Each structure stands twice: as C-alpha cells, then as structure tokens.
C-alpha cells in the first residue's frame, strides 16, 4: 500500500468515525472496539487505529488499554464550560463585529428560518444550525477567540443533536430563536441581536442540561 493510500484511508476512517460521534450515531459512553470499527469501515487495523488516536486527542474518544474504546460522554461541568465559552464569544461577536456580516447571507438564513418555523419534517436542521453559527462567528477577526471557539465546536454540535433527539420542541424553538437573531441583524440592531443570542444560548444550555438528566434517568448512557 502506498503512503498516499494509507493517508487517505486514515483520513476516511477519521471522518467516518467523527461524523458518527458528532451525530450521536455512536452515543455518549457507547463502548466500541477496533474490530467493530474495522468491520464498519472495511479497513485494516492501521488506519483505524490512527484515526482512533486522533479522535482521542480531540476528546471525542477515550481509549482504555485491553478494555476497549468509549465514546466520550458529558458531565454537567462540560455543558457549563461549553456554554460559558459561547456566552463570552457569540454575543460579543455580534456587538463588535456584526456590521461586517454579509447582510444578503443573513437575509438568506432569515428566509429559511421563517419558511420552516412550523415545519417538523425539516431534515437539514443540524446542518443549518452549524452553518448559521459558523457564519456569525466568521465576522470575528480575533484569532485567539476563533481558536477558542473552534475547540468547543464539535462538542457543541453533539449537544445540539442530543437535545433535538430527546426534546422535540427544541428544534422548532431554535428555529424561532435563530429567526429573531437574523432579523435583528437585518435591522443592524447589533445590541438586540446580541441579546437575542444570549437568550438563545440560555435556552440551549437549559435544554442540554435537561437532556443530560433525561439521558441519565432513561438510559444511563452518561
């Protein structure tokens, strides 16, 4: 096998496993094994092992020698820290850098949110959610804050998916909250946009904590 082929397989293994974890197809605290992952991917041990090592470094997997591999779970402290970072960065970005946002793109998001406020069959919710928040953060020019936000981004997506899976009403409420943020941006009322974002983060944190407690009581996966 050529070095390029090996590198490609490692990258594929990494992206495959990461996607499964982020979308909660591999649930928090689920026990995995190299053998299981090799069968899932149809790959040999080496690229799978390298992918596991990379995901362990990123905090998505925990490896216990001779015992197995566990998908990282969440604690109340984890949720609190993730949202502390978000509260520091996202409203701040809107207040201080919102005027640099492309308002045509904001209008596109607003139109989508309003069109699907009552659409329970909407299938691109998580993708749209990530795109909207990433778009807003793109206005931030402070590289240190961008790096800090990037550190929590994957874990934050996992929390969104978990909340949406266990609390059905959260998806529609989030669409309404996003529409309020986008509309305030279109009015160039950055203070109102920042306040709307702060409220959205408060509700999202509450839903994440409720999801954590519900998951513990129903399935003991945490």
Tell me: the pLDDT tens digits for 143-198?
999 999 998 988 998 988 888 776 667 788 999 999 999 999 999 999 999 999 99
Nearest-CA neighbor of 204 among 150, 156, 165? Answer: 156
Consecutive H or E run containing 63: strand 61-64
* 201 compared with 124, residue with greater pLDDT: 201
The lowest-confidence range among 10-24, 46-60, 207-221 is: 207-221
The lowest-confidence range among 3-12, 105-114, 134-143, 179-188 is: 3-12
* 126 compared with 71, residue with greater pLDDT: 71
**How far, in Å, CA of 187 to CA of 171, rounded?**
25
Nearest-CA neighbor of 152 among 201, 216, 79, 218? Answer: 79
What's the per-residue H, E or C state across 66-95? CCEEEECCCCHHHHHHHHHHHHHHHHHHHH
């Amino acid at each position: 096998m050529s070095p390029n082929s090996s590198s490609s397989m490692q990258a594929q293994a990494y992206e495959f496993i990461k996607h499964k974890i982020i979308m909660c197809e591999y649930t928090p605290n689920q026990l995995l094994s190299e053998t299981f992952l090799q069968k899932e991917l149809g790959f040999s041990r080496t690229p799978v092992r390298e992918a596991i090592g990379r995901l362990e470094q990123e905090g998505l997997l925990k490896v216990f020698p001779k015992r197995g591999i566990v998908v990282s779970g969440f604690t109340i402290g984890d949720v609190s820290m993730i949202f502390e970072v978000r509260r520091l960065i996202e409203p701040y970005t809107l207040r201080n850098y919102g005027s640099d946002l492309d308002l045509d793109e904001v209008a596109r998001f607003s139109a989508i949110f309003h069109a699907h406020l009552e659409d329970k069959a909407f299938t691109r919710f998580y993708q749209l959610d990530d795109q909207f928040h990433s778009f807003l953060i793109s206005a931030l020019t402070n590289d240190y804050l961008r790096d800090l936000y990037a550190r929590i981004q994957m874990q934050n997506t996992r929390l969104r998916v978990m909340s949406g899976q266990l609390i059905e009403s959260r998806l529609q409420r989030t669409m309404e909250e996003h529409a309020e943020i986008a509309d305030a941006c279109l009015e160039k009322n950055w203070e109102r946009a920042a306040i709307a974002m702060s409220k959205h983060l408060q509700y999202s944190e509450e839903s994440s904590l409720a999801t954590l407690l519900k998951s513990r009581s129903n399935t003991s996966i945490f």
